[in-house]
Amino acid sequence: MLQYYMNTTEPMSTRITPPAIVADNLTKVYGAEKTTAVNAVSFMVERGELFGLIGPDGAGKTSIFRMLTTLLLPDGGNALVDGHDIVKDYQQIRHTVGYMPGKFSLYPDLTIAENLNFFATVFNTTIEENYHLIKDIYVQLERFKDRRAGKLSGGMKQKLALCCALIHKPTVLFLDEPTTGVDPVSRKEFWEMLKRLKEQNITILVSTPYMDEATLCDRIALMQQGSILAIDTPDAIIKSYPDILYAIRAEKMPALLKVLGTSNTVATSYAFGEYAHATFKEHIHQEQDIVSMLQYAGMDNIEVKRIQPTIEDCFIKLLHA
């Protein structure tokens, strides 16, 4: 944890405001079988940052969210949100953060307007006072404002939940898998909303199982089974990919994948959309070597190009490491 402070440009002693989130060896263990859901996770989120926890189900994302929002006690380590201790100062944290759980948690029997008004009142504010924060999103809901939340479509529920999490002008916004199960077009729209919120200086911690959303964050932590595999800016993670990666295509893709999977010159290979991605052992040096090898194996219409890895390639590499 000390390392995090040392790496920041601003020394701790002269900091005017604490970082938005500091998690220090945060740990959560469940049940009689002592399943470690979160395993000594440490990270820091700066004020105004859009930080992503990226990983599949079971990575520990939701447990981290629930600990940081004071809904779950850690079994080890600690964390600060806005400089407040998540165990001792839980009341202050509850006043200042906004939380949108992965599961829809508004009142289904209240209308859109009633839900929003309820959350504003609970936090001692009014819709008018912070309307500027939700305006962009709320205008899309306004003509349905008398509809009960339980009767809304998935996309509208999601927008309302975001409005309710924002209405008290939270210092830190926690969004747990806001785009899971959402189609690509709606996902894109949601991330555009987040970008606009970021411009209003709200710190956002967001989780997602979709690797392609990682590049939309300022910094990310790649997570698997309770542990952080890597933590950095998406660019830096991509730059740290250690191998030369090739995208390869041939007439018959299933056959190509089999050839790559069994060839002893191939280090790793897997399907990636319309291409296969592969890395090679040392004695393969250029595209032409790969083409020759594949021609020899009976492939036709071969295309090979050197490419920059995506976050998903990095994640796969880290899983195999």
Tokens of 298: 């009976």
* 190 contacts other proteins (rule: CB under 8 A): no
Q: Are 85 and 73 in contact (CB under 8 A)?
A: no
Residues 210-269 that bind other proteins (CB under 8 A): 210-211, 224, 254
Give first-to-last CA distance, the chain, whole Å.
24
Residue 151 interacting with other proteins (CB under 8 A): no
- The total of other beta-carbon atoms located within 10 Å of residue 5's CB is 15
Contact window for other proteins (CB under 8 A) among 63-71, 114-122, 161-169, 203-211: 203-211
Q: Does 145 bind other proteins (CB under 8 A)?
A: no
Region of 1-9, 20-28, 154-162, 199-207 interacting with other proteins (CB under 8 A): 154-162
11 binds other proteins (CB under 8 A): no
Which residue from 36, 96, 186, 265 is in contact with other proteins, where contact means CB under 8 A?
A: 186
Smallest CA-to-CA distance from 203 within 15, 41, 45 is with 45
Query: Between 1 and 247, whose beta carbon lies closer to other proteins?
Result: 247
Helix (H) or strand (E) holding 21: strand 21-30
Instruction: State the minimum distance, in angstroms, from the CB of residue 154 to other proteins.
Output: 5
Taking contact as CB under 8 A, which single stretch among the options 2-10, 66-74, 108-116, 208-216 is the one that binds other proteins? Answer: 208-216
Among 7, 13, 57, 296, binds other proteins (CB under 8 A): 57
Q: Which residue in 82, 83, 86 sits closest to 38, CA to CA?
A: 86
Candidate residues 185, 264, 283, 296; the one interacting with other proteins per rule CB under 8 A: 185
Q: What would the DSSP string read from start to end of 150-219?
A: GGS-HHHHHHHHHHHHHTT--SEEEESSTTTT--HHHHHHHHHHHHHHHHTT-EEEEEES-GGGGGGSSE
Number of H helices, E strands in the chain: 11, 14
3-state secondary structure of 221: strand
Say whether residue 316 binds other proteins (CB under 8 A).
Answer: yes
Member of 150, 181, 242, 298 binding other proteins (CB under 8 A):
181
The contact set with other proteins (CB under 8 A) reads 33, 55-58, 153-156, 180-188, 209-211, 224, 254, 270-274, 312, 315-316, 319-320
